[in-house]
Amino acid sequence: MRVTQGCFSFLPDLSDAQISAQVDYCLAQNWSIGIEYTDDPHPRNTYWEMWGNPMFDLKDAKGVMMELDACRKVNPGTYIRLNAFDNTRGWETVRMSFLVNRPAVEPSIEMVRTDTVGRSQTYSWRTVR
């Protein structure tokens, strides 16, 4: 199942040149980029693994692309996303987040129905490989 999270996720996967252009846009807005990866795309899995610290004081997308390449090499077949942090309010706010890597075969998300007291039912979702 194709996971759709963040910006551009209904479009075909971005090429490296397109990712680079998006990063340049973010840097032009004075946003800092952080790279995160995970193997579990469950919508409730908010906190992905951080690939190093978010990168502050960059001027050019090349620095981000170098880190992205390194992350892809170490974690092939995982989801990787770029988060753009905006600090104009005095704290870091995620202004933009988009997937830049996904596994060849994506896990699917399945609904689980559970009976609880008085025949009522609760619903939850889980990732199935």
Which residues within the stretch 37-96 sit at the binding site for another protein (CB under 8 A)?
52, 55, 57-64, 66-67
DSSP per-residue string spanning 16-83: HHHHHHHHHHHHHTT-EEEEEEES---TT---PEESSS-B-S--SHHHHHHHHHHHHHHSTTSEEEEE
| C-beta of 23 vs 80, nearer to another protein | 23
Give the chain's largest Cα–Cα span: 60
CB of 119 to another protein, least distance (A): 57
CB of 8 to another protein, least distance (A): 23
| C-beta of 11 vs 28, nearer to another protein | 28
CB of 54 to another protein, least distance (A): 12
| C-beta of 59 vs 89, nearer to another protein | 59
Task: Give the residue carrying structure tokens 């252009």.
Answer: 21
CB of 125 to another protein, least distance (A): 38
Site for another protein (CB under 8 A): how many residues?
12
| C-beta of 63 vs 107, nearer to another protein | 63
Alpha-carbon gap, residue 71 to 65, rounded angstroms: 10
Tokens (6 digits) for 88: 């104009």
According to DSSP, residue 104 is labeled S
Q: Summarize as ranges the residues that interact with another protein (CB under 8 A).
A: 52, 55, 57-64, 66-67
